[in-house]
Amino acid sequence: MINETEETCHRFIDKHPDMTNEPSVLVTFSILYLHIFLLGVLGNSAVL
C-alpha cells in the first residue's frame, strides 16, 4: 500500500516550474529595474 502512494506522488516543481528563472521574465524585470535605477540617479543629480 505504501508503494502505491509513492508511485502516484508527483513533484510540484515538475508540473509548475518557477517562472522567475525564465529568460524572458529576467530580461523584462532587468530592463524595468534598470530604468528605475537610472531615473533615480538622474532625479537625484538634478536636485543637486
Q: For residue range 1-48, what is the model confidence (pLDDT) as tens digits? A: 555 656 678 888 888 888 888 999 999 999 999 999 999 999 999 998
- The pLDDT value recorded for residue 3 is 59
- The pLDDT value recorded for residue 5 is 57
Helices (H), the chain: 2-8, 12-15, 23-47
- The pLDDT value recorded for residue 1 is 53
Q: What residue segments make up the domains of the chain, in order of their start? A: 18-48
- The pLDDT value recorded for residue 9 is 82
The closest of 41, 39, 19 to 29, measured between CA atoms, is: 19
Q: What is the pTM of this model?
A: 0.60
Q: From CA 33, how far away is CA 1, in angstroms rounded?
A: 52
